Amino acid sequence: QAQTGTISGRVTDGKNEGIPGATVLIEGTSLGSSSNVDGTYSIQNVPAGPQTVVISFVGYNSVRRPVTVVAGQNAEVSASLAENTTQLSEAVVVGYGTQRRQDITGAVATVDSRQFVQGQVTNSDQLIQGKVAGVSITTSGGAPGAPSTVRIRGNSSLNANSDPLYVIDGVPVDKNEIKGVSNPLTLINPSDIETFTVLKDASATAIYGNRASGGVILITTKRGLKGEKLRVELNSQLGVSTVARRYESLSAGEFRDLVTANGAPAQIATLGTANTNWQNEIFRTAATYDNTVSLIGSVAKVPFRVSYGNLYQEGIVITNKLKRNTGSISLSPMLLDDHLRIDINAKGSVLDNRFANYDQIGIAAFFDPTQPVRASEAQFGRYGGYFQFLGPTGGPLGNAPGNPVAALNNVNDISTVKRLIGNVQFDYKVHGVDGLRANLNLGLDISRSKGSKDISPADFGGYNKDAPNNPGLNGSYTQSSVQDKDMNLLEAYLAYGKQFGGTKFDIQGGYAYQTFVDQGPNFLTYRSNRTTLVNPDAKLTVPGFYNKYVLVSYFSRATVNVQDKYLLTATLRNDRTSRFRNGYNSGWFPALGLAWRVKGESFLKDNTTISELKLRAGYGRTGQQEIGGAYDTQPRYALGNSEAQYLFGNAATGFIVGPLGYNAVLTWETTNTLNAGLDLGFLDNRLTATVDVYERKASDLLVEVNVPAGSNLVNRLNANQGTLRNRGIELGLNYGVIRSENLNWDVNLNGAYNVNKITSLGLQDASFPGVQLGDIGGGTGNQIQIRSVGFPTDAFYVRQQVYGPDGRPVEGVYVDRNGNGTTTDDFYRYKQPSPLVTLGFSSNVTYKKLFLAFTLRSNLGNYVYNANAADRGTYANAQASTLFVNNLSPDVRNTGFTRQQLFSDYYVQNASFLRCQNISLGYNVGKVLGASSLRITGNVQNPFIITKYKGVEPEINGGIDRNFYPVARTYTLGIALGI
């Protein structure tokens, strides 16, 4: 009798449900089996001794388990397999429900936690940077918690909010700013997030009609599972950040030589003897700690997850920092024989910020490098020993910049913000009516912010000439950002599904009611002693601010699935907003999506190469009402403050009241989107590809227009005017390049091409070039961009530089484009800041316990106006005044400009780039010291960028490189421990 035993066990997925059909092999033998419907398997006649069991299943990572088989006995080897790619059968969260991926007719992309950008991510939106075709996420710099601009398929509006709608665990949260937080998503702990679902086209988003024109991002947080064993997860990261790119400026020596050679005697006399690199003085190596502990499991059949997170992040600019404490809890009990599912979610956070004034970064780039940071002379004593440019009487020199190091240290601009997002969702499968479901969702999003700005008595800008030596009467203190926001949500719907033969119908209809209140008190500014008003007779004419708006909506959806081959989704939503007046406040948003799942046809059903083939087409309309204040369509008056009095009769006070402009006929902006897509899968979906083409046309654009002079109580008003078009192609590719027992390699490639164009701006006089925008420096009121028909929303509006035979720009000489003999009127529209092409590439390699992942991103065709070089790259800059001089941009050597040439297209520079978003290398230690899993990760964020652009950052939303907070390079060490 051979010495054999058996091996048996159960193969499960992450939800502890059995995986049927998994392959189980004994390595090095021909023995094997596949799992049953419940995931169990059994293999007989296994030779006794040490063996290795290999369990694999398409779409899941393989597992190898060593086992010692004893003759005549059974050895149990059970395994839980982790998914490795997005699967067709997976349930995808869509608006008001879920759908199987294969049933979806719209353009929907999902990114889950395993595909997130690794390393130090403070803002949740950065988790999917570079991961989804057509979703461009641009951070506004390297400050902790700096806001990102998220654009799905380009700018969808002119003046209205183009941000996507975020729906977090079923709560559509407030899109608008919370004072004291640069980015509302900073208040969510990224470690709590499970998946992002991006709804891109109208057939997917129209169910959220009223605020869906910018696309919808559905965020699902992690939760416990029924029957799950209690486990503890601990994630800890330690990071160090440095500045990745700086502004170019001359060194002290170069600057001293230049001024000595070219300056007037009075200017040369202002030079100091120090050698200060001001950017070295304001930038630092910054530390970050980020810890999250979570408890996941199921108690008395109630699955739960609770987590606590704690983040401390220093900015790379001195004094700048952020602290965040987050807590989340989710409970998902099932009651009434599993007919009633209740989802309870609450996410709370407390954020403490100390902000840095970005202007100081620009000032550091041009502050005279021959001056010291600190100076011991007596006249600097009252300025805390910091060097400052002083006037003849010892007060601040007019027009001179303040010492940036002093300014950063002297200003304590802080805020504390608390936010709670929570909801309770009841989903009831109605007893006795098969297929009928009732859903009620009650949610809230509340925030409380408090901020203050304390300017030290020693500050240059806080100088009080009436009491220079009384510290209490210098400097200032303001409570700046006290704001309470309350969003309340009630949604209810009924859904009914029924199958007739091979045809399945689902219909649902519902109602949503959402209110937004934004309120807070106003404050006066006091001197440092906090009792003396800066303006002695200031008083609060208006005690506070209060804005409330209400959205009332009805929505419905029907889906039809014929034999898993022909799919139809139709939605209709009606929204009313209190922003608009009766008669103008109702918007209808229909959508229709059709799909032909070719794979379901008989001729493809058994094809083993092509595992998925689906054609999709959709058309729909979404709406936009997010513009201006809550009451902008009503006649109303505003009270003047203490600085805007008018003193009739030499009276001591004379407060005034004035009417405000309003547009009573303002109504919905609508966007019609046409989308066609193709989903492909090969080799059991080891390779999947998605291609989408789309056209989005926004009409009745909400835009600030010039109203006819005299017709209203203001010269520009928000109105509905013009049309805007975005056209594009998107491609997404996921490929499991290598699948083997020890080595797995997955790549994701995505690309998008989007062309944005204003197609109409209403009636236009031929001589009117368009509304200008995009503030730049170099004088008051200079703007570099324009809105014109036939061009992108923010084309640069510049003059065409003439270059000499040496290739250098000729100062003040421009092309006479209209040939009228003068070039003063020869402005033209040139390029745009938005990229034409965005590309993302992610790679994940695991070899045994080791893994290596990186993400690359590239933008092509984006241009940036190098405002720093334009403003500072002239010799006049070193000759500007007689009592102080400013440093120059070394670009002056390329141009030789003696005067500013602000509108030269020379400064509109190609900012295409390839950026490595992050590289992470990790090791799965596995079971160690009683812990069930341990993973160690090393990470570099922003390790390199390749670009021809010379300014501080090529990836700038809006395309103007001016006082930009440079992006950090961050090295992070992380451990993830499971117990």
Partner 1 sequence: CQKDLDQTPKYEPTPDKVYVNLAAYKSVLGKLYGGFALTSLGGANGDSDIKGIDGGTGNYLRQLWSAQELTTDEAVVAWNDPGIQDWHNMNWDANNPLLRGLYNRAYYEISLCNELIRESSDDKLTSRLPSGDVAEAKRYRAEARFLRAVSYMHVIDLFGGGPFVTEANEVGVAAPPYNTRQQLYAFVESELLALKSELAPARGNEFGRVDQAAASGMLARLYLNAEVYSGTPQYAKAATEAQAVINSGYSLVTQASSASSAYGRNFLADNNLAPASNEIIWSILLDATRTTTYGGTTFLVNGSTNGASAGWQRYVGQTTGWGGMRATRALFDKFFLLGADTTVDRRGRFWTRGQTLEINDQSQFTQGVGVTKYRNINSDGSLIVGSQNFSSVDFPMLRLSDMMLIYAEAAARGAAARATGLEYVNKVRRRAFGLNINAPSAAADITDAQMTTDFILDERARELHWEAQRRTDLVRHGKFTSASYLWPWKGGVAAGRAVGDFRNLFPLPTSDLTANPNLKQNTGY
CA 950 remoteness from chain centre: 25
Near partner 1 in 630-689, by CB under 8 A: 630-631, 634-650, 653-665
Buried b / exposed e across 174-193, counting CB within 10 Å, b at 16+?
Answer: beeebbbbbbbbbbbbbbbb
> How far apart (Å, rounded) are the C-alpha atoms in residues 474 and 925?
59
Candidate list 261, 300, 378, 763; residue touching partner 1; CB under 8 A? 763
3-state secondary structure 932-955: CEEEEEEEEEEEEEEECCCCCCCC
Q: Is 718 in the site for partner 1 (CB under 8 A)?
A: no
50 burial level (CB within 10 Å; 0-12, 13-18, 19+): exposed
Buried b / exposed e across 250-284, counting CB within 10 Å, b at 16+?
Answer: bebeebbebbeeebeeebeebbeeeebebbebbbb
Near partner 1 in 414-453, by CB under 8 A: none
Candidate list 91, 542, 610, 946; residue touching partner 1; CB under 8 A? 542
Q: Is 719 in the site for partner 1 (CB under 8 A)?
A: yes
The minimum distance between CB 424 and partner 1, in angstroms, equals 20
CA dihedral over 85, 86, 89, 92, signed as positive or negative: positive
Given a contact cutoff of 8 angstroms between Cβ atoms, the answer to whether 153 and 215 are in contact is: yes
CA-closest candidate to residue 908, choices 792, 760, 758: 792
Looking at the Cβ atoms of 313 and 718, the one nearer to partner 1 is: 718
Near partner 1 in 573-632, by CB under 8 A: 576-578, 582, 585, 630-631
Q: Is 378 in the site for partner 1 (CB under 8 A)?
A: no
Looking at the Cβ atoms of 235 and 901, the one nearer to partner 1 is: 901
Q: Is 72 in the site for partner 1 (CB under 8 A)?
A: no
Near partner 1 in 879-898, by CB under 8 A: 881-883
Looking at the Cβ atoms of 201 and 575, the one nearer to partner 1 is: 575
The minimum distance between CB 520 and partner 1, in angstroms, equals 11
Compute and round to an integer the Cα radius of gyration of the chain.
31
The minimum distance between CB 772 and partner 1, in angstroms, equals 8
Number of residues that bind partner 1 (CB under 8 A): 97
Looking at the Cβ atoms of 432 and 710, the one nearer to partner 1 is: 710
The minimum distance between CB 262 and partner 1, in angstroms, equals 15
Given a contact cutoff of 8 angstroms between Cβ atoms, the answer to whether 241 and 946 are in contact is: no
Task: Choose the stretch contacting partner 1; rule: CB under 8 A; options: 44-52, 65-73, 571-579, 732-740.
Answer: 571-579
214 burial level (CB within 10 Å; 0-12, 13-18, 19+): buried
CA-closest candidate to residue 191, choices 94, 123, 289: 123
The minimum distance between CB 898 and partner 1, in angstroms, equals 11
Beta strand 801-803 with 108-112 is unpaired
Near partner 1 in 508-537, by CB under 8 A: 513, 515, 535-537
Within 10 angstroms of residue 823's Cβ, the number of other Cβ atoms is 17
Candidate list 47, 297, 327, 395; residue touching partner 1; CB under 8 A? 395
Near partner 1 in 821-860, by CB under 8 A: 824-825
Within 10 angstroms of residue 34's Cβ, the number of other Cβ atoms is 13
Buried b / exposed e across 899-922, counting CB within 10 Å, b at 16+?
Answer: ebbbbbbbbbbebbbbbbbbbbbb
The minimum distance between CB 513 and partner 1, in angstroms, equals 5
Looking at the Cβ atoms of 98 and 634, the one nearer to partner 1 is: 634
CA 417 remoteness from chain centre: 19
Task: Choose the stretch contacting partner 1; rule: CB under 8 A; options: 16-24, 250-258, 548-556, 861-869.
Answer: 548-556
The minimum distance between CB 400 and partner 1, in angstroms, equals 9
The minimum distance between CB 486 and partner 1, in angstroms, equals 14
H/E stretch holding 760 reads: strand 743-760
Near partner 1 in 698-717, by CB under 8 A: 704-717
Q: Is 544 in the site for partner 1 (CB under 8 A)?
A: yes
Left (φ > 0), alpha (ψ -120 to 50) or beta: where does 399 sit?
left
Beta strand 135-139 with 108-112 is unpaired
Buried b / exposed e across 605-627, counting CB within 10 Å, b at 16+?
Answer: eeeeeebbbbebbbbbbbbbbbb
Candidate list 393, 531, 602, 609; residue touching partner 1; CB under 8 A? 393
The minimum distance between CB 511 and partner 1, in angstroms, equals 9
Looking at the Cβ atoms of 336 and 713, the one nearer to partner 1 is: 713
Near partner 1 in 773-802, by CB under 8 A: 778-783
- What is the per-residue binding string for partner 1 in 895-914, x denoting contact by CB under 8 A? ----xx-x------------
Q: What angle do CA 780, 782, 784 make, to 5 degrees?
A: 160
Near partner 1 in 322-361, by CB under 8 A: none
Given a contact cutoff of 8 angstroms between Cβ atoms, the answer to whether 925 and 805 are in contact is: no
CA 376 remoteness from chain centre: 46
The minimum distance between CB 294 and partner 1, in angstroms, equals 38
Task: Choose the stretch contacting partner 1; rule: CB under 8 A; options: 54-62, 186-194, 392-400, 908-916.
Answer: 392-400
CA-closest candidate to residue 154, choices 176, 136, 166: 136
Looking at the Cβ atoms of 390 and 417, the one nearer to partner 1 is: 390
Looking at the Cβ atoms of 467 and 973, the one nearer to partner 1 is: 467
The minimum distance between CB 556 and partner 1, in angstroms, equals 18
Near partner 1 in 123-142, by CB under 8 A: none
Looking at the Cβ atoms of 299 and 656, the one nearer to partner 1 is: 656
What does 181-206 look like in DSSP terms, one character per residue? -S-GGGGS-GGGEEEEEEE-SHHHHG
What does 432-501 look like in DSSP terms, one character per residue? TSTTEEEEEEEEEEEEEEEEEEEE-TT-STT--TTSTT-GGGSSEEEE---EEEEEEEEEEEEEEEEEET
Looking at the Cβ atoms of 68 and 882, the one nearer to partner 1 is: 882
Candidate list 29, 269, 503, 546; residue touching partner 1; CB under 8 A? 546
Looking at the Cβ atoms of 311 and 489, the one nearer to partner 1 is: 489
Looking at the Cβ atoms of 501 and 649, the one nearer to partner 1 is: 649
Structure token pair of residue 392: 């003849």
Within 10 angstroms of residue 537's Cβ, the number of other Cβ atoms is 10
Looking at the Cβ atoms of 522 and 740, the one nearer to partner 1 is: 522
The minimum distance between CB 367 and partner 1, in angstroms, equals 18
Looking at the Cβ atoms of 608 and 650, the one nearer to partner 1 is: 650
The minimum distance between CB 646 and partner 1, in angstroms, equals 4
Looking at the Cβ atoms of 348 and 468, the one nearer to partner 1 is: 468
Q: Which residues contact 62 (CB under 8 A, 6 or more apart)?
A: 54, 55, 56, 81, 739, 740, 741
What does 675-699 look like in DSSP terms, one character per residue? EEEEEEEETTTTEEEEEEEEEEEEE
Task: Choose the stretch contacting partner 1; rule: CB under 8 A; options: 594-602, 772-780, 810-818, 938-946.
Answer: 772-780
The minimum distance between CB 893 and partner 1, in angstroms, equals 22
The minimum distance between CB 60 and partner 1, in angstroms, equals 48
Looking at the Cβ atoms of 49 and 654, the one nearer to partner 1 is: 654
The minimum distance between CB 459 and partner 1, in angstroms, equals 16
Candidate list 768, 803, 847, 944; residue touching partner 1; CB under 8 A? 768
